[in-house]
Amino acid sequence: MKVKDLPYKRYEIEEAEAVMKQATAAVKNATSPDEVIEAHEKMLEALSNFNTMGSLANMRFTLNSGDEFYDKEREYYDNISPLFTELINDFGKAMLASPFRTELQKRISPLVFKKYEILSAASDPRIIEDKQKEAEYVAQYSKLMAEMSFEYDGKEMTLAELKGYLAEGDRNVRKAACEAVGRGLSKHSEELDRIFDDLVHVRDRMAKKLGYRDYIELGYLNMERMDYDRKMVEKFRHSVLADLVPVVSDIKKQLSEKLGIKDYMFYDDSVCFNDGEPKPVIDKDEIFKQAQLMYDEMSPEIGKFMKSMLETEAFDVEPRKGKWGGGYCTSFDNYKQTFILANFNGSSDDIDVITHEFGHALAMDMAMRFGDKELATGGMETAETHSMSMEFLSWPQMDRFFGKDADKYRYKHLLSALSFIPYGSIVDEFQHIVYQNPDLTPKQRNEEYLKLEAKYRPYLSFEGIPYLEEGTRWQYQMHIFETPFYYIDYCLAQTVALGFLIASRENYKNALDRYLEFCRAGGTMPFSKLCERAGLTSPFEDGALKKIAQKVPEILKEL
């Protein structure tokens, strides 16, 4: 069935409540492990119904934020989500207290019980209204960004379309596009600051109600971090500063000299070549045709899955006003179906979408068919490893999309991946500062952001760029508003993905096989264990970034 035809029916909270309360009572009154397992299956059915219909409603809203029906449906799930979470929490507490727990952990993954423990620490009826408010503010931000228009070269366009000009070879074009971004955002500065203020304070309020020092503690629980904590993330950022920032800065300095740029600006950061940046040499339809051939060649299993996605029209990649401006992959569990939203803009980013989001979809499909329904693809650092690694494992096929500029693409892609880690660390540390100091004024927040830019990207300047020079670049990083503390997972995943790249250059088939095993394992193992099983260094191990800092420049030099 095509994605656009998937049946939607609101999953009423009353129906969910009836099922969940019955399942919880069954666990509490069970006289055998089998009875608990049966109740657990009932809970999983309710969870699948909620996730499927909530995901469908959100997907159709993000395709058109002006669709009043799905806007109301998305709002409905935002409101009942905290209530449903409490039902899951009650069920989880019953499972944790079961006298059959030892036996159950032989039949249900121990990580499921770990999830219940985390949920118990992060949820409470006292914060239901606050969670609903949080969802309301996030929706305000998403809608604002989807409907925001920018004037450039006499035309009105979305942010996603405008960002495509930031990779143009002509520096004047890049500068003008960047200035258009700043001017467009500045028109909504008060609203952006107000929404973020509301989000910071409602999140801080939730944390304090639950007895936590600040929202950072609650935010980590919400991210379901199982085998690393705040101190380990801080240590990782220190490694980024010590091992990667000097290397990236040196490469960028050499690059700026090659490009003849004395004052390296924010709008120069996506450019690597004097004779033009690599762009796909084929149109959208041919991109999908070649992607199918690429995945067929990589593996029959991967090719078969790509074919199913194309047959079900599981991609929406045309930018348009009212459409969510980012990119994502989601799944509809009841239908065993995945879906990818993106915004093609004619740059090399379009190919990154075909590989990155497809990596997510492949892992989601494996989790739905072979994995644990509750653990799914695992934590976000694991899920982002699926996607980022697929980008690199697709490297041998890039000639299909870029022709003679394939090596230029590989160079640009790799340098972007390496330099992303310091940027991702900026986003993460910025959020730590904000939630440690929830009463910072908008001006103070912007000042803190600029300090972090100077710390992690000392080679780059925002000076003279309207609005952005004030330290507001973070305002269109959607994760900061929508999913606090998610962004560091990209950095952790990028580190592992670079490990897969290095391995693939030594033995491609072996690296691909290890990657597929990594995907099949999904959330059944903690992140560090998955890395170990794949023969890769965990980002938290001493020296992990030193190896990256040594190997990646060597590959860049070869390219």
- CB contact at 8 A, 431 and 332: no
Residues 444 and 524 grouped into a single domain: yes
Residue 301 lies in a domain: no
User: Is residue 538 pLDDT above 90, yes or no?
Assistant: yes
pTM for the model stands at: 0.93
Residue 342 lies in a domain: no
CA distance 493 to 219: 19
Nearest 5°: the CA angle 425, 429, 430 is 115
Which pLDDT does position 146 carry in this prediction? 87
Tell me which DSSP letter residue 315 carries: E
Residue 291 lies in a domain: no
Residues 43 and 135 grouped into a single domain: no
Across the chain, what does the average pLDDT equal?
96
* CATH, residue 134: 1.10.1370.30
Residue 353 lies in a domain: no
Residues 509 and 532 grouped into a single domain: yes
User: Is residue 160 pLDDT above 90, yes or no?
Assistant: no
Residue 308 lies in a domain: no
Phi and psi, residue 151, nearest 5°: -95, 120
Residues 415 and 548 grouped into a single domain: yes
Contacts of 7 (CB under 8 A, 6+ apart): none
Which pLDDT does position 325 carry in this prediction? 82
Q: Which two tokens stand for residue 504?
A: 């693939």
Residues 106 and 140 grouped into a single domain: no
> How many domains does the chain contain in total?
2
Which pLDDT does position 466 carry in this prediction? 97
Which pLDDT does position 299 carry in this prediction? 96
Confidence of residue 7 (pLDDT cuts 50, 70, 90): very high
Range of the domain at 128: 124-150+184-280+388-559
Residues 420 and 556 grouped into a single domain: yes
CA distance 38 to 24: 11
User: Is residue 339 pLDDT above 90, yes or no?
Assistant: yes
User: Is residue 167 pLDDT above 90, yes or no?
Assistant: no
Residues 92 and 141 grouped into a single domain: no
> How much of the chain, in percent, has pLDDT values that exceed 70?
100
Residues 418 and 502 grouped into a single domain: yes
User: Is residue 169 pLDDT above 90, yes or no?
Assistant: no
- CB contact at 8 A, 390 and 519: no
Phi and psi, residue 315, nearest 5°: -130, 140
Residues 196 and 83 grouped into a single domain: no
User: Is residue 321 pLDDT above 90, yes or no?
Assistant: no
Q: What is the arithmetic mean of pLDDT over 218-243? A: 96
Residue with tokens 């041998």: 396
Residue 433 lies in a domain: yes
**Separation of CA 348 from chain center:** 19
Residues 98 and 207 grouped into a single domain: no
**H or E segment to which residue 152 belongs:** strand 150-152
Residue 163 lies in a domain: no
Which pLDDT does position 159 carry in this prediction? 92
Q: What is the arithmetic mean of pLDDT over 138-144? A: 94
Residue 498 lies in a domain: yes
Residues 23 and 133 grouped into a single domain: no
Which of the listed residues 81, 107, 122 is the one where a domain comes to its end? 122
Residues 407 and 527 grouped into a single domain: yes
